Amino acid sequence: MPGPAGPPRTTPAAAHGLAPELQAFVEHLAVERRLAERTLVLYSEALRRLQAAAATDGVPLLDAQPHHVRGWVAQLRGGGLGPRSIALALAAWRGLYRHWGRQGRIRANPVEGLRAPKAGRPLPKALAVEQAVQLTDHAQQRARAPASGAVPADPLLALRDHAIVELLYGSGLRVAEILGLDVRAGAAARGWVDLADASAQVLGKGSKRRTVPVGHAALAALRAWLELRPQLAAADEPALFVSRRGTRLSPGQLRLRLKAQSLQSGLATPVHPHMLRHSFASHLLQSSGDLRAVQELLGHASIATTQVYTKLDHQHLARVYDAAHPRARRKG
């Protein structure tokens, strides 16, 4: 006798507008693979491109062959899609056909072996040391000791923003890592800060946990925020960083606040959170030269990912040379 039916599955919002068999694949990615919402959005968009190309050519998706897929990739390139976007589309298509292969719906994966055109890897954008200090000093000035007792929301947000900026630049955290932090450690917590140990436990990519040090500036900013956080946070909210409404701060809210702060601080270029992570890595490498340590602190699975910062370090040294060495400048 069959057991009780489980709760009904709902199609992720990102998959709306796709054919039922493609919606089922996105649901599989969401439920079984537990991919992030942003990844589901990107994969769903790639599947829409596949669905449209196959419909235009009158090819049922289950009957697609490698030459069909090569033609669809050529259409993407002709439409102005860049190499990285094409690579993402191929990853989504390849995953779809592998899924169907495991279900026995196809004999061979028509996307297997196809590669996107190579793209030059852009260097990460990092702030100069003095720019990073300018931003953190500005955040600190905005958060200067609100009076005790009831404090209006804006000074509370300034305290929160200062702690976030210090953690982003001082510990090199990703957006998801810093927003996943809870006030207290626990089995259900994705991450937390241990003030006594001056460290943070974070959940990085691939659900890998790592411990990162927290500097004295970030610790001081965190203590100031934690003292007044209860005035803003909802009673049962576990998140370390909360919004004006008292619930966990969202990535979009963080990006907007940091962009506004960077412009208010006098920086010419708006700063996004990952730029502070790049700055953390670049400045640490400039000072220590220890690539392995930077890899560990960033949580990179491969040293090759971290090596891009050596190019930034070389650019920094080249600028110092050009500015200081008497033989650096060529005479006209």
The per-residue pLDDT for 210 is 92
**Helices (H) and strands (E) in the chain — how many of each?**
13, 4
Q: Which domains does the chain have, with CATH numbers?
A: 13-102 (1.10.150), 129-270 (1.10.443.10)
Q: How far apart are CA 69 and CA 77, in angstroms?
A: 12
Active site (catalytic) residues: 174, 205, 274, 277, 300, 309
Q: How are beta strands 199-203 and 191-194 bridged, if at all? A: antiparallel
CA distances, 85 to each of 74, 211, 216 (Å): 13, 33, 41
108: left (phi over 0), alpha (psi -120 to 50) or beta: beta
Taking the chain (332 residues) in runs of 10, the rounded mean pLDDT of each run is 47 82 93 89 95 95 95 91 90 96 94 80 80 93 72 83 96 94 92 95 89 94 96 95 96 95 93 93 86 88 82 53 50 44
The per-residue pLDDT for 145 is 61
The per-residue pLDDT for 325 is 45
Q: How far apart are CA 60 and CA 80, in angstroms?
A: 25
**CB-based contacts of 55: which residues, under 8 Å, 6+ apart?**
none
Phi, psi of 275 (to 5 degrees): -65, -35
